[in-house]
Structure 1
Amino acid sequence: MIPAAFDYVRPASLEEACHVLATTGEEAKVLAGGQSLLPLLRLRLAYPSVLVDLGRLPELHGVQDRGDHVFIGALTTHDEVMRSPVIREHVPLVALATATVADPAVRHRGTFGGSLAHADPAGDLPAVALALGCVFVTRMTGGQREIPASDFFVDYLESALDPGEVLVGVQVPKLGAGWGFHYEKFHRTAQAWAIVGVAAAVRTEGGAISEARVGLTNMGSTPVRASAVEAALRGAPSPAPDGNGASNGGHDPVRDACGEAADDTSPPADLHATSDYRRHLARVLTYRAVRAAST
């Protein structure tokens, strides 16, 4: 299909981009890698009057080690993210999840910030950002602000970004020693959205789980933090490597805790899965992700 007509602007600076967005308001759409926006334009599910292309803004690219966190520029491509030595060393969950995004063609064009700003709950990265407690750094005319991931995702395809605001990058906290990470995903094909995905970060100490962070993909209109699972995992014995549970007569407290993964969720029902099937997948995949992250 052919998109509806729109004006095209390619700002030469971040300040110019903010000015254009401030003057056009809700009628404008920001173009980053285009892997999420262009299909919406072609299907006429989005019909902006102005398209603001950020491709000429080098300050939005790159990965920086900033001591207690890693800063990822909004226009950094998925391929650059998953190959970055800084990300692999300090925030490996981001690299693990990014490597599952679509296919190589999409990962070479799609951007880290664009995927997050798109705010699709079926996307892989929003659940990761929520689990890790990322902070979104934005710029608008006359200032900037920092938005915690817990406040950034408002509803389906809706973020906390104001019409005149540009996502500059994302601060990803370094969790430090003792943490393990895993991203588990169930999907039909490499190019398809996740039917359900689970981002898990687990800290073990003295043979037990001392802290866990779990984010769920496609289990509601926004990414979901599995707080019931996180609370239930605290103090549970670390899973045995052989998959038979902790050495306590076969009973597995980790499996029991992960059985609460679907609590307080509202998974969608569509052509790919019913709500009940997604709840089942959430329990199974959470157990797999937590085991992989803690063993």
Structure 2
Amino acid sequence: MKPSRFQYHRATDVPHALALLREHAGDTKILAGGQSLVPAMNFRLARPGVLIDINAIEGLAGVTGSSAAGLTIGALTRHAAFHTPVEPGPVGALLARVVTNIAHYPIRQRGTFGGSLSHADPASEWCLTAMTLDAVMVICGPSGERRVPAPAFFRGTFTTAIGEEDLLRAIEIPPYPGDWRGGFYEFSRRKGDFALAMALAFLRLEDGRIAEARLGLGSVSDRPIRLTAGEAMLCGRAPDAALFREVAADAQGRIEPSGDIHASSEYRRDLVGTVIERALARACGLPDHAGEAVR
């Protein structure tokens, strides 16, 4: 199929993009990588009257800062930028692990970090990453710039705090010093398919025990989930398989996974235990029984 008729505008800077959004409010879509939008338009699941291309706007792409000082990711930064660590600290290493799970190599060449967050697919690896790492989204709008924490940013399936006249400019990840370490695991039917369940663990170890923990779950609800109860269970304890099973079982008892044509709620609940245990094992460098090498 082909998309329905639309106007095309190429924004030259952020004020120009905001002016176009204001002029055509309610009938626009932002074109960044287009890896989700264009297929939806071709199937006429999305029918914007106006398409605003932001690829010519300087300053929307790139990564600055560090794990220790905090990282700022431009919304137009391509997935492929994370194939190698964007900085030498634990956040850079984690992002490099996560990105290889996103779709396929050609898609990662065009798709963008900010586009993924704006699309807010429940199966998005970057949405889970933003929620788990306490990311803050920097949004430009008619009243200026505002910063929205991840829990307030994600409002449901394909729904965020970005308004009709707003533009996501950047994503800020808070400081995580060098003693943090991350693990990620997702289950999909085939490499590159949407995940049926995934977990991200980010831990700080001190004297052989977990001093701080961030634990998130994705692709089981209408938005990524932060497992704060599991984080509390991890803190102060030595990492081992028994602890990971305990945390996974607790999460299984607390959530009500969604069911769809890809997986039932019961099946996803079983997967939740697996992905949590394996993400935690990978964060701690322990065997995860997934048949893959753990760093």
Q: TM-score, normalised by structure 1?
A: 0.91
Matched residues in 1 for 2:170 and 2:253: separation? 32
Aligned partners of 1:34 and 1:110 also within 8 Å: yes
Residue 132 in 1 paired to residue 133 in 2? yes
Aligned counterpart, 2:33: 33
Query: How many angstroms does 1:27 deviate by?
Result: 1.1
Moved more, 101-110 or 87-96: 87-96
* Aligned residues between the structures: 284
Query: How many angstroms does 1:91 deviate by?
Result: 3.5
Aligned counterpart, 1:190: 191
1:237-248 equivalences under 5 Å are 237-239=238-240, 245=241
User: Aligned Cα RMSD in Å?
Assistant: 1.6
Alpha carbons of structure 1 residues 196 and 32: separation in structure 2 relative to 1, 3 Å: same
1:155-174 equivalences under 5 Å are 155-174=156-175
Matched residues in 2 for 1:211 and 1:89: separation? 14
Matched residues in 2 for 1:49 and 1:188: separation? 36
Matched residues in 2 for 1:83 and 1:237: separation? 31
Query: How many angstroms does 1:285 deviate by?
Result: 1.0
Q: SS at 1:176's partner residue?
A: coil
Q: SS at 2:172's partner residue?
A: strand
Q: SS at 1:167's partner residue?
A: strand
Aligned counterpart, 2:113: 112
Aligned counterpart, 1:292: 282
Alpha carbons of structure 1 residues 224 and 263: separation in structure 2 relative to 1, 3 Å: farther
Alpha carbons of structure 1 residues 204 and 89: separation in structure 2 relative to 1, 3 Å: closer
Aligned counterpart, 2:50: 50
Aligned counterpart, 2:258: 268
Residue 78 in 1 paired to residue 73 in 2? no
Matched residues in 2 for 1:269 and 1:261: separation? 17
Query: How many angstroms does 1:191 deviate by?
Result: 2.7
Aligned partners of 2:244 and 2:276 also within 8 Å: no
Q: Which runs of 5+ in 2 are unaligned?
A: 286-295
Q: State the identity %.
A: 34
Aligned partners of 1:228 and 1:263 also within 8 Å: no
Aligned counterpart, 2:248: 258
Matched residues in 1 for 2:239 and 2:188: separation? 28
Q: TM-score, normalised by structure 2?
A: 0.91
- Residue type of the alignment partner of 1:119: A
Aligned partners of 1:183 and 1:197 also within 8 Å: yes
Aligned partners of 2:85 and 2:95 also within 8 Å: no
Matched residues in 2 for 1:75 and 1:84: separation? 17
Q: Which runs of 5+ in 1 are unaligned?
A: 240-244, 246-251
Q: SS at 2:250's partner residue?
A: coil
Q: SS at 1:91's partner residue?
A: helix
Q: SS at 1:288's partner residue?
A: helix
Query: How many angstroms does 1:261 deviate by?
Result: 2.2
